[in-house]
Structure 1
Amino acid sequence: MSNDAHFIEGLRSGEKTVLQEIYNQFFAKVKTFVLRNKGAVTDAEDVFHNALIQIYIRLKKRELEIKSSFEAYLFTTCKNLWRRELNKKRVTKQEVVELEDKETENAFALLEQEQWELYIEKFQLLSENCRKVLTLLFNGTSYEEIVETFSYSSKVVARQRVFKCKAKLTKLIQGDAKFSKIKKL
Structure 2
Amino acid sequence: MGKNVLDALIDGDSKIINKVYTTNFPLVKKFVLQNNGNEEDAKDVFQKALLQIAVRHRKEGITIETSFGGYLFKVCKNLWRRELNSYKKRVTNKGIIELTSEYRDYSLAVMEQKRQELFVEKLDKISGNCKNILTLFFAKTPYKEIVATTEYNSESAVRQRVFKCKKKLIELIENDERYKSLIEI
Q: Name the TM-score, length of structure 2 as normaliser.
A: 0.48
Q: From the CA coordinates, give the structure whose radius of gyration is larger.
A: 2
